[in-house]
Amino acid sequence: MTELTLALEGSTYAGSVAVIRGTEVIADVTLEDVEGSVPAAGRGDRMLPAVAECMKRSGATGRDLARIVCGAGPGRFTSLRVAGAVAKGLATGYGVDLYAVSSLLLIVAAAHPPLGEGEYLSVLDAMRGECFGARVIVTADGDISQRGPTVILSSRDIQELSVAEPTLRTVGQGQRIAAAPNARGVSKVLPQIIAAGPVDIALWEPDYGRLPEAQVKREAAARTLG
């Protein structure tokens, strides 16, 4: 069994893992599968068992892996950090390259049923009443790509965009089209991930999008006391 990809996604607490042969998902697991419910913040101890369970279901071993792909965020600081650390550790241990992919791209790529041709606004909760967002294009051939940078949007921004661009459909949890980032989506965009090249395992970190909430509160408290 060769040319397998192990994919991890941790931009939300409902993290996921998939084993992909070529562009076919042969096994996938969510942290909910391992825990029985969506883990709370900080329950990063479930990511590695989810990887083990997914590898078991696929019948693969570390020797079968050609690469590891990790969702790069933006998203929840703790869960992204855990997924990134696990991905880096496994890539180092197995001696394979590590690749990164936008978690906003994975929302569109993992949507079920698959999204049709068009332009989408992919969004993830950024807390504080805001969302991370990026435009994603799906072509008639099924190619999926992100257009432009990730930005932070308020609910008002999203509403105004929907009015100004009626054909721009919003995708995400609690949005017009309900979908969440999932490691399965890597199968739809794997060729472009490989073409972009691997990351430097020693230096790479996920794109957290903004400072963790705890740090923001500490800095705000320090400014108040100062």
Q: What is the pLDDT of residues 20-55, one digit of tens each?
A: 999 999 999 998 877 666 665 545 678 999 999 999
Query: 160 in a domain, yes or no?
Result: yes
Query: 221 in a domain, yes or no?
Result: no
- Phi, psi (degrees; rounded to nearest 5) at 168: -85, 105
Say how many domains are in the chain. 2
Name 164's Cβ contacts closer than 8 Å, sequence gap at least 6: none
Same domain, 91 and 10: yes
For residue 98, what are the β-bridge partners? 68
Task: Give the range of the structural domain holding residue 64, as residue numbers without chain letter.
Answer: 4-103+181-216
Q: What is the pLDDT of residue 14?
A: 87
Query: 225 in a domain, yes or no?
Result: no
Predicted TM-score (pTM) of this structure: 0.89
Using an 8 Å Cβ cutoff, are 16 and 25 in contact? Answer: no
Q: What is the pLDDT of residue 43?
A: 55
Same domain, 195 and 148: no
Same domain, 83 and 170: no
Same domain, 136 and 198: no
Same domain, 98 and 111: no
